[in-house]
Structure formats: structure tokens, C-alpha cells
A and B are shown apart, each in its own frame.
Chain A
Amino acid sequence: MSTQRIDGHISQRFDEEMEGIVSDLLAMGELVTEQTESALFAFIRGDVALAQDVISKDTRINELELEIDDHCIQILARRQPAAGDLRAVVAIMKAIKDLERIGDQAKRIARIAVKLADADERYQKQYGEFELIGSHVISMLQNTLQAFREMDADKALAAALQDKSIDSDYEAILRQNMTYMMEDPRNITRIVEMTWVGRAIERIGDHARNVCEYTIYLVQGLDVRHKDDDQLQAIVQSRPKR
């Protein structure tokens, strides 16, 4: 089976608790997606107010991590979950850590956005590559969350594989930024900051991929960490259907 259910317990209360941590995780995921999107928008447009908003909202993400963690610990202590329920709790406890880190990266982007907000017109062309990598990472985050929401291993695999294009977008940004630095050394400080933004987005892709791996673990019971794309694909697709 390539999907997993979390409801249907004899204890309705247990269903509610499981549904609670799943929906909280999704809410947290949506919030960090929003934060990433806003941070990128603020960076590209030089919108200081929006960037400040992203920075201040990061505390909410940290709070959510603590809350969900606590709910998971309560379920472990009081329900002794097994099989798919156990995998769901474990996957969620791991996923919130990556989501929290995505939040941190969004905050990092927002801080750089504040720093570089006074951009002259002539620099604007340098942001083109960020539009591209940004749209890729947002799409990956959305697909990651959708795969988790539907507890669908095939969708999680597809989302995990999106990380590759983000890595190559980042490579492109690095190459381009080196060119800009060579063209005019006065740009170096600014370009280094922009490179950090690219690096942050690349890290967000890695964290999203981790969440996809936990989703695959949740659904199929397979630990697919530390595998390359080909191995990941082979393992997920070879899993016999129940």
C-alpha cells in the first residue's frame, strides 16, 4: 500500500490525537512555506516591512515545534503506538525539526533582504535567478506537504526528486555570482550576501527532501535516508503493495 491511514482506532480519542499532530504539522509546514515565500519576495523586491514580518513570525514556528513535540511525547507515553501509528509519530517528531530549520533559513533570507533593501536599479537583473530557484523551492515545499497530507509515498518520492533542480539552480547562482564579482569588485560584499540567500534556499530544499523521506518511512516503513536519487526511486517503487 502506498498510503497510510491514521484514523479508525477503536478509541476515538486516539484518532483525534493522531489527527491533531498531523494537522498541526501541516499547519507548521504551511507557515514555513509562507515564510519562505515572503522572505524571497522581500529579498527580491527589497520590501523591508515584509522582511521584518518574516523575522518576527519565526518565533511562532519555534513554538509550534515545541507544541507538536510535546503532543507526540504524550502519545508515546500514553498510547504506546505501534506499527503505522508509531511510524507516524516518529516521522512527525523528525519532520518538525526540519520544518523549524526551514523557518530559520527563511529568517536568514529575510535578514539579508533588510540589509540589501537599498538596491540600485542596476542590480535588479541579478535577482532573475532567484525568481527561478524560489519558484522551484516553493513548489517542492507545497508538494512535500501534499504528499504528507495524503500520506502518499509516490508523491513524496516525486517531491524529494525536485531537490535536484534546486541544487542545480544554486550551482547556476554561484557561477553567475562569481561572474558579477569579477566584473566589478565593488559588488563583492553584496554578491556574497546574495550567495548566502542561494545557499539558504538550497538548504531548504535539503530539509524538504528529509521531510519527504520521513513521509516514505511513515507510509512504507522503509528508512530511505542517505540514499541517492536512483536508489531512492528504486527502493520506493520496488516496495510490494500490501
Chain B
Amino acid sequence: MNTMQVSFGEKKDNAAQAEHAVKMSARDVKVFYGDNEALHGINMDILENEVIAFIGPSGCGKSTFLRCLNRMNDTIDTARVTGLVTLDGKDIYDRSLDVVQLRAQVGMVFQKPNPFPKSIFENIAYGPRLHGLVDNKRDLDEVVESSLRRAGLWDEVKDRLEAPGTGLSGGQQQRLCIARAIAVSPEVILMDEPCSALDPIATSIIEELIDELKGSYTIAIVTHNMQQAARVSDKTAFFHLGNLVELNDTREIFTNPQDSRTEDYITGRFG
């Protein structure tokens, strides 16, 4: 009975997708590490309130591309990005743009949970304070609580908000990092292998969370776990050797991919 309800829900989502606006867009995006061209001109639209998964073998460029979406590649000295990346139609590589502000709008969750070596409360409070999103302690408390609630962590930590964030389990730490990203009211959340360091139960909880969050945010997730991409995403993009080979509805990619390289990868014919 439950599974039937879920599948009806998915159908409705798919029908609604047609009306989703373009949230982020990439045109002819190339990334160079020194002289080495790592991404060969990627074109992609990411739609609002949709989960898009990037899959592909190691070194295919999926993480590199994800990092273009909030200018994380800026932090690598040898990296150079060309082409156009837009958020709500605005060029995010524009010189006048505030990168700190961009990274609040386009948040990121990393492979390894990386809470600050501070209390659980401070982990969440840091961003809103930095961005001046709150005026007083009461507002701050509210943001911390609502962020932890949205990340499904509140009930587990509400009695120990002053305990160090690093003392939580791996899965809890990852949800803390998601809560931290949410606290600054992002529009897009980028996730780079968010579950690869987690056990299956913690992974399921994060996947469930992704499903809930997509109502409010646009989510792009890099994953090595193809079943995870199949479970959580609406769209799947397959990268290979620095190219975007195929981008389609997840239901199509996993049942009837159009490119033989996609098929070979998702069926375990090369890795």
C-alpha cells in the first residue's frame, strides 16, 4: 500500500516537473587544471525544486562540475573556469558578485562530514550571524531550531546543543552539515558524495531528508552509488571523460538509456 502511494507521488512530481523553472544553467563550461582540460564544454539546465544526480566513473568530471556551481574551484590555484554559469539568470562568475553571498545561496555538503570544532549550536549559528540574517538571540535560536528540525536532527540533539558537533555520529554530523547549509537560507544545495562515509541506515535517513528538502530547495548530488542516484533523483546526468554524455529523467536513464556508454556504466560493464 505504501509503495503504491509513493509511486503515485512520483508520477505527480514528474508531471509537475514540466513547469519547473530553470534555477541554474551552464553553457559551454570548461575547467582547466593548469594546461589540462578536465571538463570539455558542459551545457546543462538545473530545474528548480528538482534533485539532479551526477554519476560517472572516477575522474569523469562530475565533482569538478558540481564545484563550478558555487565557485568552489576558485579555491584551487591552478583551476580555471570558462563558459557561463548562471543562477536565476545571473552570471555567478561576474566580477562584481560577492562569492560569500553566492555560497550562501548555493550551499554545499561534502563527502566527509566536516562540522566546525565548536558546539552543535555554534555550527548552525555561525552562518546566519556571518550573513547578518538575524538581529537578536531569539531569532538566532529560532533559526538554529528550525534548521536542525528540517535536517531531521532536532530531536536527537535538542538537549545537548552545547555539546561539540564533532561528538555526534557520522550520520548525525552529516545532517548537522546539512542543517548548517540550510541555516543561511540557500536556494540550491550541492552535495558531493554525502553518504559515502555513512552506514546504510544513516544513508537512508539522508536520502529521506533529500526527498523532503527538494520541496524547498534545488539539489544537485554527486554520487558513486548508482542505486542512490536511482532512488533520490528526478534527473540523472552521466559524465564520462570530462563530457556530459547523457542527461535525462532518472526513470529513463535507469530503464532505457540512449547512449551505450551510459548503459555500460550503469549496468557494471566498465568502471
Contact = CB atoms under 8 A, between A and B. Distances in A.
B268 interface: yes
B256 A221 contact: yes
Contact of A10 (B255, B266, B270): B270
Interface in A45-90: 80-87
A interface, over-half SS? loop
B156 to A, nearest CB: 30
8 contacts: A10-B269, A81-B267, A82-B226, A83-B257, A83-B267, A87-B256, A242-B258, A242-B259
Interface in A206-240: 221
Interface in B215-271: 226-227, 230, 253-260, 262-264, 266-271
A8 interface: yes
Contacts of B270: 10
B227 to A, nearest CB: 5
A81 B256 CA distance: 12
A88 to B, nearest CB: 10
Contacts of A87: 255-256
A14 interface: yes
A9 interface: yes
B260 A1 contact: yes
A11 B268 contact: yes
Interface of A: 1, 8-11, 14, 80-87, 221, 242
Contacts of A85: 267
Given A1-B260, A80-B227, 18 more contacts: A8-B264, A9-B268, A10-B269, A10-B271, A11-B268, A14-B268, A82-B226, A82-B254, A83-B253, A83-B256, A83-B257, A83-B263, A83-B266, A83-B267, A221-B255, A221-B256, A242-B258, A242-B260
Contact of B254 (A14, A83, A242): A83
Contacts of A86: 254-255
Of listed A1, A82, A86, A221, residue having the most chain B CB within 10 A: A82
Contacts of B264: 8
A193 B264 CA distance: 53
Nearest to A80: B227
A195 to B, nearest CB: 42
Nearest to A85: B267
Contacts of A9: 267-269
A167 to B, nearest CB: 31
A8 to B, nearest CB: 5
Of listed B253, B257, B263, B271, residue having the most chain A CB within 10 A: B263
Contacts of A84: 263, 267
Contacts of B266: 82-83
A188 B149 CA distance: 78
Nearest to A5: B269
Contacts of B259: 242
